[in-house]
DNA sequence: GAAATATAATTAGGTATCATAATAATATTT
DNA sequence: AAATATTATTATGATACCTAATTATATTTC
């Protein structure tokens, strides 16, 4: 069997990865708000440098590693729900600035609180040392996998 | 700001999780084979107790934590590609046994080899101790998150 | 300063990977 | 024998992405 060639440590890793794979830890905690909508709100709220300016669609896309048409769609949905506004950019008439409405602010506050609670809880559950260890190893593993792929092509 | 309430260790974890989130480490390594098709082949090949019997659709679904209609669809695609056969179960006429064709065996061999190489490489890259540590922490984190969700509802 | 090129957002249309509900056939339990 | 459960399938839909084409505006180059 081919799979007999796998190292026991590697197999353990593989099994955990495959067990974890399909669990959506990043679901939206707010009913009626899709996961991708929550992500966009989070991005707008927590990754802006100048909050009063709002965020460009292309900026959101770049930060989230998603194409602009995808962001446009999500923004449309958030707009329908009254959570964001589109404000024409004064200095570049091709651009639109996305800002949160008061309702949007209220919703992202709830999302953020949930994320805080979840990760504070997780970090405490693991202990700060192991928590840092997990972050470090995950990143290292991720970078390795990404590069293996690139070489493969 | 709400996010100021997050512990530095928790924040680090959150950032790594969100950086990793959208990378598909489990893509199919074989051109023309979809990721979910590779998963089903892998499941049939490596999780059967009695390989000569083939695997039931419901069994595959249970093992992969996916509904049976979804498996049926994937099996249809694999069938079209000549990678699996449907063999009526002799003892239960409602059931169908899914078996790999020779071509299917050949393909899953290539998939398995790729998985072996990837995880052996990763495990070596991390070192066996850290590799085990990552598996342990990931599982622990996963279980925690799953349970938080359940309590939340 | 006109022409060529680049960038921003959108629209249109499509793909991958799942799900639920309903159905038909067969097994199992009562 | 009747009621219930299970197996697989079909039909349909949802989510979250994508690429290609389009329109409008900016920037660069000659």
Q: What is the pLDDT of residues A82-115, one digit of tens each?
A: 999 999 999 999 999 999 999 999 999 999 999 9
Contact of B142 with chain A, judged by CB distance below 8 Å, is answered with yes
CA–C1' span, A142 to C7, in Å?
Answer: 32
Contact B135 A21 (CB under 8 A): no
Q: What is the mean pLDDT of residues B98-116?
A: 97
Q: Provide the pLDDT for residue B114.
A: 94
Which long-range CB contacts under 8 A does A66-74 form with residues at least 24 apart?
Answer: A66/B22, A71/A40, A74/A36, A74/A37, A74/A40
**pLDDT per residue over B66-86, tens digit each?**
999 999 999 999 999 999 999
Report CA-CA distances (Å) from A85 to A53, A95, A103.
12, 13, 11
Question: Does the pLDDT value for residue A5 go beyond 80?
Answer: yes
Whether A98 and A54 have beta carbons less than 8 Å apart is answered as: yes
B58 touches strand D (CB under 7 A): yes
Over chain B, what is the mean pLDDT?
94
**pLDDT tier at A1 (50, 70, 90 boundaries)?**
confident
Residue nearest to nucleotide D24 (CA to C1'): A94
Lowest mean pLDDT among A67-71, B45-49, B117-121, B144-148: B144-148
Fold of B22-152: Arc Repressor Mutant, subunit A (1.10.10)
Under the banding of pLDDT at 50, 70 and 90, the label for residue B150 is: low
Selected residue with higher pLDDT from B5 and A102 = A102
d(CA B56, CA B64): 12
Residues in chain A within 8 Å Cβ distance of B149: 27
Structural element, H or E, at residue B86? strand B84-88
Q: B25 to chain A: which residues are within 8 Å by CB?
A: 17, 142, 145
The 10 Å Cβ neighbour count of residue B4 is: 7
The yes/no answer on whether domain A26-152 falls in CATH 3.40.50.1820 is no
Option in B115, B137, B145 nearest A134 (CB) = B137
| CB-based contacts of B83, cutoff 8 Å, min separation 6 | B37, B41, B100, B101, B103, B104, B107
CA distance A55 to A100: 10
A87 contacts chain B (CB < 8 A): no
Cα of A93 to nearest chain B Cα, Å = 31
The domain locations on chain B are 22-152
Tell me how far the alpha carbon of residue B149 is from its chain's centroid.
Answer: 22
Which residues of chain A make contact with B134, given a CB cutoff of 8 A? 13, 16, 134, 137-138, 141
The DSSP H or E segment spanning A98 is strand A96-100
Q: Which of A19-28, A141-150, B74-83: highest mean pLDDT? A: B74-83
Q: What is the pLDDT of residue B153?
A: 37
- DSSP letter at A52 equals G
Tokens of A115: 């994320």
Q: Whole-number Å distance, CA B53 to C1' C28? A: 23
So what's the pLDDT on residue A147?
82
Residues forming beta bridges with residue A100, ordered by sequence position: A84
Q: How many percent of chain A have pLDDT more than 90?
A: 87
**pLDDT at residue A130 in the model:** 98
Tell me what pLDDT residue B4 has.
81
Express each pLDDT in A37-75 by its tens digit. Answer: 999 999 999 999 999 999 999 999 999 999 999 999 999
User: Which candidate from B19, B20, B144 shows the least CB-CB separation from A125?
Assistant: B144
Tens of pLDDT, residue by residue over A107-130, are 999 999 999 999 999 999 999 999
Query: Mind listing the pLDDT tens digit for each residue in B37-65?
Result: 999 999 999 999 999 999 999 999 999 99
Give me the pLDDT at residue B66, please: 97
């Amino acid at each position: 069997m081919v799979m007999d060639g796998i190292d026991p440590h590697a197999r353990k890793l593989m099994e955990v990865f495959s067990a974890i794979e399909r669990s959506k830890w990043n679901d939206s905690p707010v009913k009626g708000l899709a996961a991708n909508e929550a992500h966009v709100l989070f991005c707008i709220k927590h990754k802006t440098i100048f909050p009063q300016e709002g965020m460009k669609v292309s900026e959101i896309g770049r930060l989230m590693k998603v194409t602009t048409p995808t962001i446009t769609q999500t923004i449309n949905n958030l707009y329908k729900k009254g959570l964001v506004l589109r404000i024409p950019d004064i200095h570049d008439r091709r651009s639109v600035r996305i800002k949160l409405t008061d309702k949007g602010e209220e919703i992202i506050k709830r999302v953020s609180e949930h994320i805080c609670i979840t990760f504070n809880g997780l970090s405490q559950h693991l202990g700060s040392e192991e928590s840092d260890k997990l972050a470090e190893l995950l990143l290292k593993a991720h970078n390795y996998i990404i590069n293996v792929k690139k070489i493969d092509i």
